[in-house]
Amino acid sequence: MIKKENLPECPVATTVQLIGSKWKLLILRDLLTGKKRYNELKRSLPDISQKVLTASLKSMVNDGLVIRTAYPEVPPRVEYSLSELGESMRPVIQSMETWGSYYKDQIQ
Domains of the chain by residue range = 4-107
CB 41, CB 78: distance < 8 Å: no
Q: Residue 32: exposed, middle, or buried by beta-carbon count in 10 A (0-12, 13-18, 19+)?
A: middle
Helix, strand, or coil (residue 80): strand
- Report pLDDT for 15: 85
Per-residue pLDDT of the chain (108 residues; tens, 9 = 90+): 667 777 788 888 888 888 888 899 999 999 999 999 999 999 999 999 999 999 999 999 999 999 999 999 888 899 999 999 999 999 999 999 999 999 999 997
Of 31, 7, 37, nearest to 89 by C-alpha is 31
Class of domain 4-107: mainly alpha
